[in-house]
Chains A and B, each alone.
Chain A
Amino acid sequence: MARAGGRLRRIARSGGHAGVLVFFVTFLVFPFYWMLMTTFKTTIDLHDVNKNPFLFNEPPTLEHLKVLFEDTQYLQWLINTGAVGVAVVVITLVLAVPAGYALARMTGPWAQTLGIAIFLTYLVPPTILFIPFARIIAVLGLQDSLWSLVLVYPSFTVPFCTWLLMGFFKAIPRDLEDAAMIDGLSRLGAFIKVVLPISLAGVLTAIIFAFTLVTQEFVYGVTFITSASSYTVSVGVPTFLVRGDVYFWGSMMGACLIASVPIAIIYNFFVDRFVAGFTVGAVK
């Protein structure tokens, strides 16, 4: 009797386990699945209320993607986003790598506090800063230019990446730098010639996250940029792919998918480090 009860409980447990997973995965993934379906269904199929929307009632089509790339500035937006991403990543690395290392190696109680303070500036939302920035950008003459984004985006990538890199550099044993100093390098030399080559994984992580933060940003983009050719993807798709009352859903969904999935794939490999950055040392 007890054994049967135990087995039942185990089956219920794994059933519950599977049920939970199915429910949440469905909830979280469904919009992307829907984007996928919508991208490849013909417009007629999409707008036919009588047909089952989960099936391809007409054969799948590439016309929406064709429209996206040929009749809109989507490709330009992708290029813009990429260019801003690269520029911002470079600035971020130049500022955050030395800062993260200094914070990791500084002795004294306030080094840790300073690190957290820097991280907390990441939490200052663009929805507070965008108002003064609107005017600053106008005064600087960067209105409607991608350079405005290159200037402003490091304000959130640098705090986050400094914190991330600080944690990463802390994990490298100090012995290695001591050995390098005894072997003939200065402190700075030890950093450049011994620590950095070992830290490539951490630096790569910072690069990926900085780039991701750039692609996700919307508030500054919609505030500073007004002409279509200068949009980033995140801003262009919601604002421009609507002509009057008509939403080009097929193209829009395709646009969303293309801009989300590849980044998600790369991001996936670095999640653990990313979480370590977020957990502020609350996990030891």
Chain B
Amino acid sequence: MTATAAAISAATARRMRLADDERRLWPLMLAPAILYIVLLVGFPFFLSLFYSVSNVTVGSRDMAFVGLENFRRVVESGTFWIALGNTLIFTIVSQLFVLLFANMLAMALVADFRGKWLVRFLILLPWVAPISLGAIGWLWIYDSIYSVINWTGQALRILGPNEWPIWLGQPNLAMASIIIVQIWRIVPLATVIILAGLTSIPQDIHDAAAVDGAGFWRRTFQITLPLLLPITLVAVLFGIIFTFTDMIVVFVLTRGGPYDQTQVLATWAFFTGIQGGDLAGGAAISLFLFPVLVAVAIVFLMLARRAEVT
């Protein structure tokens, strides 16, 4: 027997062990994470569905099936429609502005300039700071007596001596104030995402367009923006999810007031289910967030599938 054959004989004893066998290794490495996600996202989600068709409360011991009773109650309450309307308005209006602002800001950040690193750091602050703390900062800015906006408005003669907007007191102003804060916190994320898309467009393409005679605006609208479409879509989708399902900004700024005029679905679910103890009702309300989530997920999957194919 040659030395080789002997070595290989010995090796035969070291056959494919688990640590070698990728077909068995991968599922094992994946399993804990997937299990955790199923248990802590999947299970509560189905529980939520179940609660919405039961009569469970925070204190109750047993639950009974009540069909669509909770949904009927919810839909019959006036506050629900206000909350739904507000949620849609806040999301659509804020994301339109985010789209515009993020594109402008991203284009301004493509070129290198002195202090660019500082600017990038500064513009990220609203996104990185805990949302509740940023909202508290705006609460102070919007304060009914000490609002710096009002002081500045009067100093610059934009506001008359008797004009003193109560930013969080009047319903329409309150909605505008909330929208501004949502724009404020999402713009950094959208900007950075679109900026990544901008820098990934090869310089060759800009050069070719310039040689072909296209000026700045034509290049922007006919070359850059269309190429950015997928990534812009990603930024918008994130913005929609984070705004549509958010409760923090409204909670901190107005608690849904005045008189529930600025409620959104998420805060209304909170007040109904957690503070009010009506878990079933709260679950029913929060489930109205789900369709948007599904729509966004589908678009994401389509985007990812397309990115793979190209």
Contacting pair B269 A98 (CB below 8 A)? no
Cross-chain contact B128 with A99 (CB below 8 angstroms): no
- B99-112 interface bits toward A, Cβ cutoff 8 Å, 1 = contact, 0 = none: 00100110111010
Residues of B within 8 A of A272 (CB): 196
Is B67 an interface position by the 8 A CB rule? no
Measured in the bound complex, the distance between the Cα atoms of B125 and A216 in whole Å is: 12
Q: Are A132 and B29 touching (Cβ within 8 A)?
A: no
Which of A53, A127, A155 has the largest count of B CB atoms less than 10 A from its CB?
Answer: A127
Chain A residue nearest in CB terms to B264: A127
- Among A132, A138, A255, the residue within 8 A (CB) of B51 is A132
Q: Which of these binds chain A: B72-80, B206-214, B299-307?
A: B299-307
**A95 and B39 alpha carbons, distance in the complex (Å):** 14
The reply to whether B286 and A128 form a contact with Cβ atoms under 8 Å apart is yes
Residue of B nearest to A250 (CB): B140
Contacts of A275 in B (CB 8 A): 192-193, 195-196
Evaluate contact between B140 and A38: CB separation under 8 angstroms: yes
Interface residues of B in 280-305 (CB under 8 A from A): 282-283, 286-287, 289-290, 293, 296-297, 300-301, 303-304
Contacts of B233 in A (CB 8 A): 282
Contact A219 B247 (CB under 8 A): yes
Residues A102 and B30 in contact, CB atoms below 8 Å apart = yes
On whether the beta carbons of B26 and A102 are closer than 8 Å, the reply is yes
CB of A114 to closest CB in B, whole Å: 8
List the A side residues contacting B131 at CB < 8 Å: 216, 218, 234
B308 within 8 A of A: yes
In Å, the complex CA distance between A105 and B124 comes to 33
- Contact stretch, chosen from B2-10, B88-96, B144-152, B166-174: B144-152
Q: Chain A contacts of B68 at CB under 8 A?
A: none
Would you call A99 and B141 a contact (CB within 8 A)?
no
Residues in B whose Cβ lies below 8 Å from that of A261: 125
Contact assessment for B36 and A95 in the assembled complex, using a CB-CB cutoff below 8 Å: yes
A131 contacts B279, CB within 8 Å? yes
Please name the residue on chain A nearest to B35 by beta carbon: A95
A125 beta carbon closer than 8 Å to chain B:
yes
User: Which A210-239 residues have a C-beta within 8 angstroms of B?
Assistant: 212, 215-219, 222-223, 233-235, 237-238
- A34: contacting residue among B133, B148, B282, CB under 8 A: B148
Residue tally, chain B, CB below 8 Å to A: 105
Give the distance in Å from the alpha carbon of A252 to the alpha carbon of B124 in the complex: 21
Query: Contact between A27 and B184 (Cβ–Cβ < 8 Å)?
Result: yes
Report the minimum CB–CB distance from B179 to chain A (whole Å): 13
B20 CB contacts on chain A under 8 angstroms: 186-188
Does residue B246 face the partner (Cβ distance < 8 Å to A)? yes
B232 to chain A: closest CB distance in Å? Answer: 9
8 Å CB contacts to B: which residues of A94-146?
94-96, 98-99, 101-103, 105-106, 112-113, 116, 118, 120-121, 123-125, 127-136, 138
Interface of A is mostly: helix
Q: How far is the CB of A24 from chain B (nearest CB, A)?
A: 5
| CB-defined contacts of B101 to chain A, threshold 8 Å | 24
- Which A140-192 residues have C-beta < 8 A from chain B? 151-152, 154-155, 158-159, 162, 186-189
Q: Is the CB of B48 within 8 A of A28?
A: no
A249, B283: Cα distance in complex, Å: 35
A29 at the interface (CB under 8 A from B): yes
Partner of B36 from A127, A158, A259 at Cβ < 8 Å: A158
Of B56, B133, B273, B289, which contacts A259 at CB under 8 A? Answer: B133
The reply to whether A265 and B121 form a contact with Cβ atoms under 8 Å apart is yes
Residue picked from B29, B47, B121, most chain A C-beta under 10 Å: B29
**In contact, B248 and A283 (Cβ under 8 angstroms):** no
Q: A69 an interface residue at 8 Å Cβ cutoff?
A: no
- Closest CB-CB distance, B52 to chain A, in whole Å? 9
Q: Across the interface, which residues of A come within 8 angstroms of B177, CB to CB?
A: none
CA distance A169 to B188 in the complex (A): 27
Known: A124-B45, A128-B286, A256-B129. A21 touches B36 (CB 8 A): no
22 A-B contacts (beta carbon < 8 Å): A17-B108, A17-B111, A31-B138, A49-B151, A53-B146, A99-B30, A102-B29, A112-B304, A113-B301, A118-B34, A124-B41, A125-B266, A134-B279, A186-B17, A187-B21, A188-B19, A249-B140, A267-B128, A272-B196, A281-B304, A283-B196, A284-B307
Given A134-B273, A252-B140, list of 17 further CB < 8 A pairs?
Answer: A21-B108, A28-B187, A31-B134, A116-B301, A121-B37, A127-B246, A128-B287, A131-B286, A188-B20, A219-B247, A219-B248, A260-B128, A264-B124, A264-B128, A275-B196, A279-B197, A279-B234
